[in-house]
Structure 1
Amino acid sequence: METTELLKKVRQIEIKTRGLSRNIFAGQYHTAFKGRGMAFSEVREYQFGDDVRDIDWNVTARHHKPYIKVFEEERELTVMLLIDVSGSRNFGAVGESKKEVITEIAATLAFSAIQNNDKIGVIFFSDQIEKFIPPKKGKKHILYIIRELIDFQPEHTGTNLSLVLEYLTNAIKKRCTAFFISDFITEENFKNALSIANRKHDVVAVQVYDKRETELPNVGLMKMQDSERGEEKWIDTSSKRVRDTYSQWWSQRQSRVLDAARKSRVDITAIATDENYVLALMNLFKHRG
């Protein structure tokens, strides 16, 4: 994308998503993600009603009377965006393309994070780790992230969800909130990696899909292409058996994704490209608040 066109697109995304995060999400985001960790603050003398599990036995032994550790919520969070840049993100038959919707959702979350004084970083992934942007604060950093969301060109087209979850677990040492944004089109079993990542971090899954992906239209012979492997084949969509088989495939794959999230205790929201992602994100925040 040419520089002037890219800057214009960045500005459009900034105006739209910064307004959304300031006017709509500020309170919900803060309530949903504030102080997920607890930081040691001070010690003080034990008072009636304090939790005995908070007693600092070393200080108690020195002073010959009980003292407890006082903790406070960590207000500053680190937020990571895990962005799927595999080939399937370019699909868009109903509404905007998945890439466009993912970009707007990620930008909205990024502006919400800096308004909450949080650091924000990004991991772009396909079946490889394509790019890692370390978490920082500030508007300049956010605009750099938006430029990359719009214009980043991955080297690979496949998908490996477990790989990016393992990378998150190993690369980010301090507990963070991680928004895992993907269409989750994969036959891979990533539940184990998701469970491990969510034990260390606070993982939230955001699925972006196109409604045309959920069922085949009855339009006769249709050439379909696997956007991740490049394979093409003709299928007869006038066959009810073919359409039913495809719908069954989608339902089973979707059930596996939701089951992986449920068993890993990860909140997930599914957003179609022609739906209002603002409403979906607000419902997600309210659920966590």
Structure 2
Amino acid sequence: MGTYRSVFRGSGLDFEEVREYEPGDDIRSIDWNVTARMNAPYIKKYREERELNIYLAVDVSSSAWFGTGGLSKRELAADVAALLAVTALHNNDRVGLVLFADGVREFIPPRQGRHHLLHIIRELLYTEPRRSRTEIASVADYLANVTKKRNVVFVVSDFLDVDFEAPLRALGHKHDLIALILNDPREAELPSVGLVALEDAESGRVGYLDTSDPAVRERFARSARERRAQRLRAFSRMGIDRVELSTERPYVPALLGLFNARSRRN
């Protein structure tokens, strides 16, 4: 995580002054109101904060129980969030935690320190998923109310909520938002094991599939591909950074790839 600091450069900014535009300045910083009054281009100058607030918004809906690889999605989410918390605190940033499902279940305000880190890790490890849907709007609305400044927000979820685009878009306008998408291979492809009962982890509905039928497996896989494509198109429309993490593959290389890309962009 050596690129950590450059990844989030400029995420926490305090307004400092307005000065005249100089060649090479970022035109996105132009203050159009002052420019109109002075009849000359002026820009807003900001001072970067030395410390950041990092919010970890972790999905603990019932679909988090699912997992056929080395980890369940719940365990993967806990591991990833704990790593991000350790890294942030090592860089003297403040870390907060929001656990959510169909509403916010737990909120730990951002702080620093070893005891605070242990508190976060305990909540990640011991909060049990409940039978409920994933509602991204619940955490987006909550953070909009409790945070005033621009922060870094990681949303760790499988994003099974079909209505996540509007609340995430609103959250992304205010904060530096990064989506960590949790996947399990069996959500995309069924093995051939005969008749199986499949339960929707969030609604509780049960259906039966004959997985020995190649046509059934193909329909299942095609439906999963379509859902994934729709989800990724939504993130592209929003312009939000995201990375997919699998329960059967190491997650650190995927995170490093995302952070390196952001570092180059900054």
TM-score by shorter chain over 0.5: yes
TM-score, normalised to structure 2's length? 0.87
Cα drift, residue 206 of structure 1: 0.4
Aligned counterparts, 1:99-178, within 5 A: 99-178=74-153
Quote the Cα distance in structure 2 between the aligned partners of 1:190 and 1:111: 28
After superposition, the Cα gap between the structure-2 partners of 1:155 and 1:220, relative to the gap in structure 1 and judged at 3 Å, is closer
Larger Rg: 1
Mapped contact 1:35–1:77 kept (Cα < 8 A)? no
Query: Partner residue of 1:6?
Result: none
Aligned counterparts, 1:58-77, within 5 A: 70-77=45-52
Identity %: 40
TM-score, normalised to structure 1's length? 0.80
Quote the Cα distance in structure 2 between the aligned partners of 1:254 and 1:169: 27
Q: Which residue of 225, 229, 232 corresponds with 2:199?
A: 225
Query: Partner residue of 2:14?
Result: 39
List, as ranges, runs of 4+ consecutive aligned residues in structure 1 with deviation greater than 3 Å. 40-44, 46-57, 67-70
Query: Partner residue of 1:205?
Result: 179
Quote the Cα distance in structure 2 between the aligned partners of 1:54 and 1:198: 22
Query: Partner residue of 1:285?
Result: 259
After superposition, the Cα gap between the structure-2 partners of 1:41 and 1:92, relative to the gap in structure 1 and judged at 3 Å, is same
After superposition, the Cα gap between the structure-2 partners of 1:93 and 1:50, relative to the gap in structure 1 and judged at 3 Å, is closer
Quote the Cα distance in structure 2 between the aligned partners of 1:99 and 1:69: 43
Q: Which residue of 211, 236, 240 corresponds with 1:262?
A: 236
* Bigger fraction of residues in helix: 1
After superposition, the Cα gap between the structure-2 partners of 1:40 and 1:161, relative to the gap in structure 1 and judged at 3 Å, is closer
Cα drift, residue 230 of structure 1: 2.4
Quote the Cα distance in structure 2 between the aligned partners of 1:141 and 1:36: 23
Q: Deviations over 1:215-264 (max 9, x none)?
A: 11111111222222223232111122221221122111111211111111
What are structure 2's unaligned runs of at least 5 residues? none
After superposition, the Cα gap between the structure-2 partners of 1:43 and 1:199, relative to the gap in structure 1 and judged at 3 Å, is closer
What are structure 1's unaligned runs of at least 5 residues? 1-24, 62-66
Query: Partner residue of 1:30?
Result: 5
